[in-house]
Amino acid sequence: MCGILAVFGCIDNSQAKRSRVIELSRRLRHRGPDWSGLHCHVNCYLAHQRLAIVDPTSGDQPLYNEDKTVIVTVNGEIYNHKKLRENLKGHQFRTGSDCEVIAHLYEDYGEEFVDMLDGMFSFVLLDTRDNSFIAARDGVGITPLYMGWGLDGSIWFASEMKALSDDCERFISFPPGHIYSSIKGDLRRWYNPPWFPEHIPSTPYDSIVLREAFEKAVLKRLMTDVPFGVLLSGGLDSSLVAAVASRHMVESEAACQWGSQLHSFCIGLKDSPDLKAAREVANYLGTRHHEFHFTVQEGIDALEEVIYHIETYDVTTVRASTPMFLMSRKIKSLGVKMVLSGEGSDEIFGGYLYFHKAPNKEEFHQETCQKIKALHLYDCLRANKSTSAWGVEARVPFLDKDFINVAMSIDPKWKMIRPDLGRIEKWILRNAFDDEHKPYLPKHILYRQKEQFSDGVGYSWIDGLKDHANKQVTDAMLMHASFIYPENTPTTKEGYYYRSIFEKFFPKNAARSTVPGGPSVACSTAKAVEWDASWSKNPDPSGRAALGVHVSAYGEAVDTKPTVNGPSQKLLERILEMTDTAV
């Protein structure tokens, strides 16, 4: 990941203003510690903090077209850049950077080129020929971007709001899948996939098609010129990423230069569920595994720094970001700059435990659509900012544009959780990789039940956070929370504590408005309560709030060894028993 900052239409274009832009850009240096760049044109500034992943020697930014009339600063990776280069006839490329194609695509296609990009990206482009500019963000919002307005009429863009919060009177989270055009003066959606209108798809489930689409998504993300690895929690999603990546290492020239053995990383409290499961998966796959431990106190000590970096006070995000933040620091110390991660699968396939209560396939599908559209506020934000805090880039193959289209075109009746048919959550994904002849994973890993990341690192992690917050926030403070925080009022002491830390770093109304609000409900969604009103009785957003569904949280001794078609009959009977309205 890199850090970008762009300012357009400043009244002041003095040396002092240039120095101020450099100072603000420096706030993003954690995202790109390898090099800094700045381009000034009249009253416009484009700054860049680079994390060199592809073409470390010549890919410094900002990037230009041939005569330097088009300037672009980019945060992200364009996985199809080689194919795009082949179609850009008559253009001279100065670097091997995957992002340089953006400047030349703009020359040939104007503002309509964005949909041609396959990757994760946020970029700002200046055309000095008419002093126009555009800004765009990838379809799901894997990379962060904020947009702000100054009192002098200037327009700002930055990878993180800490770079513009002091100088902008108003700022927002730039919506994913949108482009801003200074000529047209508005935001418009460029990302319009077939599933976006939330119509109910009808394509039959084909396990081979789904498997091949995911393998392609992983393979293209092995594009790198630096050491890399995979985040491995031992759950289904990260284990599949690791399994596919380890198989395809030999097919990626860039990846092979770092050896044929995949490095894997996991973090947790001592004897946590994730550490045990990840160790088993790593042994099975033959990865070079790195296991990191942290204590509850070490996590608590890091909270202020974590909230400063992730720029949110959302409870579940803070809980999960802290171990990821600590792990990223360890990963960077090993010289690794890029990791593959498993975000996005639960949103696409309905993997959260409250999906057990979905009443029909229509509501199931519509909820997956809404979850994907909100990823930029939760898991994408966590994965990107927690790793970028230490100059590590996280790539997410489940959010590959082509893979999402394949997965979201499947008739949702196949995604429905059907214990009576042996189908637990994400059954179609598990089944797609259930290969008897050349197994990707052991069956009990392939059919392991969903574990919230903040739970998987150790159940006492969340309990420790709650205990700490209870000591910091009094009953009176929480009782009067609506007067102190009238917008997005925290409803728990833990939420109040995170909010107070956030406000210290980001005190403006605009900042708190970038965080999704509303009362905390089971599984962090009102849909869970709509499907089963009893879940509203537990205000904790952890996966353990999925009352009667998540077995591990209650210490149940359940045999999870699966049969050929899925989990054991004993587990299915237990889930069916607990899920009284199973469909």
Write out the catalytic residue numbers.
2
b/e burial code for range 466-475 (CB count within 10 A of at least 16 → b): bebbeeebee
Q: Is 311 helix (H, G, I), strand (E, B) or coil?
A: coil
Tokens encoding 524: 């962090």
Is the C-alpha dihedral spanning 9, 14, 16, 21 positive or negative? positive
C-beta of residue 396 within 8 angstroms of C-beta of residue 341: yes
Beta 263-268 vs 288-293: how paired, if at all?
parallel
Distance CA 468, CA 466 (A): 5
* Lookup: tokens for 443: 């069956």
End-to-end CA distance of the chain: 43
Are 394 and 341 contacting, i.e. CB atoms less than 8 angstroms apart? yes
- The rounded radius of gyration (Å) of the Cα atoms in the chain is 23
Residues contacting residue 151 through CB under 8 Å, at least 6 positions apart: 169
User: d(Cα 271, Cα 78) in Å, to the nearest integer?
Assistant: 39
Q: How far apart are CA 397 and CA 212, in angstroms?
A: 12
Q: Which residues are annotated as a binding site for L-glutamine?
A: 98
Nearest CA to 511 out of 499, 495, 520, 496 is that of 499
Residue list for the binding site: 98, 231, 267, 341-342
Show the tokens assigned to 183.
């000529």
Binding site listing for ATP: 231, 267, 341-342
Angle at 488 between CA 482 and CA 493, to 5 degrees: 65
Q: What is the DSSP string of 521-572?
A: -GGG-HHHHHH-GGGGG----SGGGSTTT-SGGGT-------BTTBS-HHHH
The residue assigned the tokens 């600590």 is 326
Neighbour tally for 139: CB within 10 Å: 26
d(CA 282, CA 265): 9
Among 20, 57, 51, residue whose Cα is nearest residue 36: 51
